[in-house]
Structure 1
């Protein structure tokens, strides 16, 4: 609910924007709608220049072309993180040049700070979103948002291209790890918590930064699994699965949206008036501005063959609802839109509408406060408190998937043979958008952070031996692993993926590469207990290994503190409590999600993943009982309260996430066998029990009906927690 103060502030901003807009020339307006890459203002010949901006190029962009936004980081010598002092100086330069313009309109500087201030050296880099989802801890997501915003602001940057609100329902997709998993409720809860932490109640505050919802909408569900390829999503599926997270982000106050780089049902995201205007604006009530993704307006002509010319592409995108173009390597959008406005092909009302939205966000972000001082670095950047929160997030994000005969935790006195390609790299725990775009530049990672191997060595009281096992580098590598295994108590087999994002990460199969499978087979055949640790952004197929390994730890991308967090779990210094936010497939084509339809597990069809959504073991044992609903019958517009007891019946302190699912027993549109509608994470001492209470609202019971409208239908509903069920009925 908006307060009186909020209304007054909105009215003030509206008045300021209206006044400023009335003074602007057409050129200044079109410039505000133009966003360019840093390379357009950067110094190319410098090597690690402390001042990588070319002043003449910057003035050409901001003063001559009136550019409203710049994104990305210096390319000196290649796209990579910069020291915070360099960032602060750069941002002062940008602000200084914008202050020279006729109307002193500030540039809004955007950055992909998707798991911390990724392009600022030594920033606190959190687990990636897939791991944050595995924590099932919205408080940690809120704190990640707070810390990220503070460090982005301390770096002088203004705008964060995060969070990704796409849901990850296609495991081949190379950006799966940027999502909060496959479930609508989980992604909504984690994403909105992040936004609220990142923005607070007022993102003009010194430690807050506006967010950007990505990538509206349907981007994450390409039919062939490859990035920037078509999705085929009907209107009902779109409204049931893919729109709710974005709608929640809009309600949480995110003031910007970035567009899907691909297409849905034959319409590219940047040309989709129905999605960008009818749904986003008219239905969701979004008031902020929409920014294109990388060069995608041009691609309406060059790639999609939707536009007859580059000018036509600009017209289509702007009229569909795109307010700002990430051009990014030239001023072509500026020139073409100027011509379109002068000819009347794009009406001035549409130009004014877009610029009004952009200026409003700039005012709301406090960018017009020209005397505002930069946030001090001390106490706001890479603090011990932030690092401790990051380590806790990493711990809670790691999933113990198998633990035969309590092989874990391992005694610190044990002798461990560590092998595999992911054991001694920081990059494999962080993934893309880390220091560099692809995140693979291991030599640029901070030396004070520990890989899995180094973290084990730090904690071990026994012998730790490391052999990479890479037959490409040494044809006898596997023989050496087999020979060495006899001198150790256990083998830690570290497999997975190297870093990637976007089209660079496209693959043909979820199967692990043959050399890793060969190493795994050899390690298992030694007869020594094998603990499999996987790291990477997707569920690569590990079934044959997992079936024979004594223990399985799914690490995914736990961030810069991941090495120590994994060592904490392996040695029992932390009791694992992560849960899978996706379904882990048993086979490459076995992609059936947890919330599948009844026919997907009927007459020979089975839901038989390697590990199901929500799976995750502990070193203690939890039990739930006493599931009950407060009413056996409710009206369609009433809430129902569900209670359940959870107990720690084991011998160790631990955290358990209690997951509450519902099933609409009969409906006019087929309903999933179950859907997550609530969860709570609780910490319990041995022998301790708690009674948890959940409230299910009419929205939780609703679905997209035959007429494509959200509806609650009368009938029976089933509530599921653990192995228990309870039923209630909805009446007219």
Structure 2
């Protein structure tokens, strides 16, 4: 049995008060024998609950009647310590553990960026409501975070009858982005374009190294949604539109964040979000309805979450929207039948911001907040991010007293929250520490973020080898556009604050694209003209004049920072003023490099044709300006490939893994005269998924299969020769796609099944290998998540090479679709 809450020895440098901790330990020592007896009673209850819970039947992910029997939820698996604690706790104390409040309710000003504590506000929340978790803030210096976290924990442990520490959650989305001076990595959409899972791991490592000592125990990342709808304002938070890439990247992030040993004695929990189907709203707007079939949920939206769970994911955050008209926060089919029964998740399921009250105010599926609370708890919610009031505590208590919820149901969720705190070592090490603050802002971590940016920026077009612009040949370079001299635009939302901060508040050592180009071309005259003057008018005349005297012009266009609903849009078309800017420069006839900065693809069809070169910069983080400049100069050879399908037309959303019936329009059945009317094929994309240019060239040749027929549980070994046929070293992401030619349901035109990135010297040739197996690579799930493996022909594609083979028999065993494991393949 684990010794209950040993606080006697705080970690080196911890900001604890020894007298307080000694008193706590003394009180706990007196209760040790009592805990043992209570533990036995609790364990017996848990075994009885398991014995009386019927084995769940496999079910589809659709609406199911809400059951009043809380035993329908799988029992929580808790440690002896947690079981003993629960046995001592009152109902109110358990409900408090299920409650999460924002930092605004405990700071002096009620403003997120005020990371300070008002003890008069905090004490009653702990003493009377037993609140177990707080969240967020904004980027402040590490010392301020330590002071805040230490005061928070001291008061929490003093006022809590059982001295239970707080777990603090924070939105560190691409590095420790709510701590001043840290390494800010590219957002996930960029990392997906790198096709290098190591960068997902390094992002997680930097996050914990620069925040774990500050009292940040719970990181609300990674985003495991699929970026299939490019209108969605959070698409940049995803690893792209492919489920395999999202699975591999997400699992790499989770493992590093939760298993990192450099932050000992601390541990940090990841939070996979947003479970599930959140990223494909029908109208593209945040927190709205998605129309997704059960089968598509299983095949496309489940795998990334399953892979993260297989990697040990401790918590998930729930989809704020609806699926087929049902709010996910009240869906027992999703939060219990799928999440707990099918996928085997044992961790904490937390709501997103105000999402229980959203059932009443926005989604109109509950008459009042109390009813919404009942619906959410019965569906499977463990913790409510309320985040401003304690109404949740009152309503849950009333629901138990009325018999609508059982205390056993509350035990499940409170037990999961306490178990999370136990696994993170918070009972032993709740206090932040000051002796390792020197590693926050470590230049080595910022260099890793720069490397990630270098491999995540995509060269989309390079007409007549416009790029690279060799520094020795460029004498005058003009850099214009809204993103030319902006640090904020490079980093996007969730940087320093929820929606970013005003430009003047970003670190001055972060190079903008303009500043980086000045550094990259020391012998040239590098000029930037604001594209709007002081009165807000376009500076087209002065820009045109400067462009005519320049050797080349870099046009840095794009979006300002945003996230969530504030980023909703009905038109992705590049704004008119930016189109005017680009056309003005292009009219001069000078070589122009279009750099697209932003969290989603701006429609640039009107200006793409006359662009000499196009770079998709995305949101490359604080190293993005330098990375883009180095790609323009040729110091860095671009190696990224798009992690999404770049549309050519506004309103055209078609991920690369679309169904066959989206691929073409067959008019021949309508009779003579109709054959040549209208487009016979889908509109061409500006750039397809997985495409990206390099300053060298790669040749794919000699694709071979070890057998043309695969049967039973056998394997087929596929090999292809990849050769760097250019004059400089380069990295190439080798992407292996499979097409199921005929299926009982229409199948995607292709699906990525394996990827691997390698560096090749000039002239170097290497054999790349992919081992094809029936269940992980040839099957697809039905609506219940059961694999379907059908006889028939498949086509393998890698580069410009294709091979056809046949699967000739069912596998001897079956599996559930438990995600994809490994670094770049299934499973």
Partners of 1:476 and 1:228 in 2: CA distance: 35
Q: Mean Cα displacement is larger for which, 529-538 or 686-695? A: 686-695
In the other structure, the counterpart of 1:569 is 631
For 2:149, the equivalent position in structure 1 comes to 91
Paired position in structure 2 for 1:719: 796
Q: 1:66 corresponds to which residue?
A: 130
Q: Does structure 2 conserve the Cα–Cα contact (< 8 Å) formed by 1:174 and 1:506? A: yes
Secondary structure at 1:548's aligned position in 2? coil
Is 1:188 the counterpart of 2:252? The answer is no
1:446 paired with 2:507, answer yes
Q: Which residue of 2 aligns with 1:4?
A: none
Alignment of 1:14 with 2:14, yes or no, is: no
The alpha-carbon deviation at position 147 of structure 1 amounts to: 1.3
Task: Provide the alpha-carbon RMSD of the alignment.
Answer: 1.9
Partner of 2:699: 623
Which residue does the alignment assign to 1:116? 175
Q: Relative to structure 1, is the Cα distance of residues 392 and 591 closer, same or farther in structure 2, using a 3 angstrom cutoff? A: same
Question: Does residue 192 of structure 2 align to residue 133 of structure 1?
Answer: yes
Q: Deviations over 1:695-723 (max 9, x none)?
A: 23322211124776321111111111011
Q: In the alignment, which residue of structure 2 is the partner of 1:532?
A: 594
The corresponding residue for 2:767 is 691
> Does 1:216 find its partner at 2:278?
no
Alignment of 1:187-206 (within 5 A): 187-200=246-259, 205-206=264-265
CA contact 1:141–1:190 (8 Å) conserved in 2? yes
Matches within 5 A, 1:619-658: 619-658=695-734
CA contact (8 A) 2:185 2:203 kept: yes
Q: Distance in 2 between matches of 1:518 and 1:204?
A: 51
Q: Are residues 1:44 and 2:106 paired?
A: no
Query: Shift of the alpha carbon at 1:355?
Result: 0.7
Say if 1:138 and 1:193, in contact at 8 Å, map to a contact too: yes
Q: Does 1:365 align with 2:427?
A: no
Q: Which residue of 2 aligns with 1:238?
A: 297
Q: Which string of whole-angstrom CA distances, capped at 9 and with x for unpartnered residues, describes residues 238-267 of structure 1?
A: 111111111111111111111111101111
Q: Deviations over 1:79-130 (max 9, x none)?
A: x311110111111111111221211111100000010111110111100010
Separation (CA, whole Å) in 1 of partners of 2:113 and 2:242: 43
Other structure's SS at 2:699 match: strand
1:471-510 → structure 2 map (5 Å cutoff): 473=535, 475=537, 477-510=539-572
The C-alpha deviation readout for 1:652-687, integer Å capped at 9, x for no partner, is 111010100001111111111111111110001101
Distance 1:70 1:706 in 2: 37
Question: 1:485 offset after TM fit, Å?
Answer: 1.2
1:589 is the counterpart of 2:651: yes
Alignment match, 2:484: 423
- Correspondence 1:78-477 to 2 at 5 A: 80-100=138-158, 101-200=160-259, 205-206=264-265, 208-370=267-429, 374=433, 376-378=435-437, 380-413=439-472, 414=474, 415-460=476-521, 461-470=523-532, 473=535, 475=537, 477=539
**Is the 8 Å Cα contact of residues 276 and 301 (structure 2) preserved in structure 1?**
yes
**Residue equivalent to 1:664:** 740
- Residue 79 of structure 2: SS of its match in structure 1? helix
Evaluate the alpha carbon distance shift between residue 138 and residue 62 of structure 1 in structure 2; reply closer, same or farther with a 3 A threshold. Answer: same
Deviations 1:10-55 (A, max 9, x none): x996211111110100110010001000011111189987x71001
Give the Cα–Cα distance (whole angstroms) in 2 for the partners of residues 207 and 628 of structure 1.
Answer: 49
For 2:550 and 2:263, the matched residues in 1 are separated by 57
Q: Which has the higher contact order (CA 8 A, sep 6+)?
A: 2
SS at match of 1:109: strand
| SS at 1:336 equivalent | helix
Measured after TM superposition, the shift of residue 347 of structure 1 is 0.7
Q: Cα distance, 1:153 vs. partner?
A: 0.2
CA contact (8 A) 1:315 1:346 kept: yes
User: Which of these residues, 95, 101, 112, is aligned with residue 30 of structure 1?
Assistant: 95
Indicate whether 1:730 and 2:789 are aligned. no
Unaligned runs of 5+ residues in structure 2 are 1-75, 667-679, 810-827
Tell me by how many angstroms 1:187 deviates.
Answer: 1.0
CA shift, 1:387, in A, is 1.1
Tell me by how many angstroms 1:372 deviates.
6.4
Q: Distance in 1 between matches of 2:251 and 2:535?
A: 46
Decide whether aligned partners of structure 1 residues 614 and 44 sit closer, same or farther in structure 2, where only a CA change above 3 A counts.
same
Deviation at 1:727, TM superposition (A): 2.2
Q: Say if 1:455 and 1:567, in contact at 8 Å, map to a contact too.
A: yes
What SS is found at the alignment partner of 2:200?
Answer: helix
Q: Tell me, in whole angstroms, the C-alpha distance in 2 between the residues paired with 1:328 and 1:128.
A: 26
2:663 is matched with 601
1:328-385 deviation line (CA, Å, top 9, x unaligned): 0111101111111122211111100101111111111111114766374345322122
Distance 2:647 2:185 in 1: 26
Q: Is the 8 A contact 1:669 1:706 kept in 2?
A: no
Q: Output the CA distance in 2 between the equivalents of 1:229 and 1:206.
A: 41
Provide structure 1 residue ranges, at least 5 long, that are not aligned to the other structure: 1-10, 74-79
Count of aligned pairs: 715
Q: CA deviation at 1:476?
A: 6.0
Match of 1:5 in 2: none
Q: CA deviation at 1:509?
A: 0.4
Larger Rg: 2
Note if contact 2:298-2:784 (Cα within 8 Å) is conserved in structure 1.
no
CA distance in 2, matches of 1:323, 1:12: 14
Q: How far apart in 2 are the matches of 1:472 and 1:458? A: 27
Q: 1:707 to 1:206 in 2, by over 3 A?
A: closer
